[in-house]
Amino acid sequence: MKQHLSNTPGPIGVFDSGYGGLTILDKIREVLPEYDYIYLGDNARAPYGTRSFEVVYEFTRQAVNKLFDMGCHLVILACNTASAKALRSIQMNDLPGIDPARRVLGVIRPTVECVGEISKNQHIGVLATAGTIKSESYPLEIHKLFPEIQVSGTACPMWVSLVENNESQDEGADYFIQKYINQLLSKDPQIDTVILGCTHFPILLPKIRQYIPEHISVIAQGEYVAESLKDYLKRHPEMDAKCTKNGNCQFYTTEAEEKFSESASTFLKQQISVKHITLE
């Protein structure tokens, strides 16, 4: 069904299945504070990491359509699972019919582009959700740019729950953080760079650093995605012109507003107001 979309400039849309995308939004706003943003969290149906490709694609497509309806010409999928399982299908199959001038970008490619410079010995590890690991998006993207790099991945099924339930700094978190790091390093003891392939994981950084050897670099995605977006807008002035710049940010969630506000303050270190929204 063809949407009747306005050509009036609008905010940049940032979508995540939960709260993790707030770590991306935070860095984007640091680098590009003058732009307007709409953050949409599908918290009621999170987490996406364990869901099938079909379901993640359908949910992500609904969110992208909603953000387009709200005036966004550019949408960032600030979710690795959505980027892994839905981005390509939306770009190739949906955008041509919706509006070929609109754009949807993910978080995996910008993260991958930096690893060639960071890794010294070409051995990289990825810690992510089960869905992202199963999709093999990171090895595929890395090998497109750096065929010689060896990539090992480990799924961390408990980490998102630790973050979403504000347990990330509790003692109980240590067991699961150490467990998955040890699993990854046992696959390839030569790893010198680890990608946190889930936007929730930077919240766990203090504990992750405790259990990862000092010589290993840890890549959190926010700054790389933010710099990549800045570069994208510079290279595409026609898209930049469609993005409003009043320094505003609106928040929407499919969950209860109070719950989102409470958890979002953990990620953003500030109080926010949020509105409820329905996706279908």
Give catalytic residue positions. Answer: 79, 198
Binding-site residue ranges for substrate: 16-17, 48-49, 80-81, 199-200
Binding-site residue ranges: 16-17, 48-49, 80-81, 199-200
In terms of Cβ atoms closer than 10 Å to its own Cβ (0-12, 13-18, 19+), residue 10 is buried
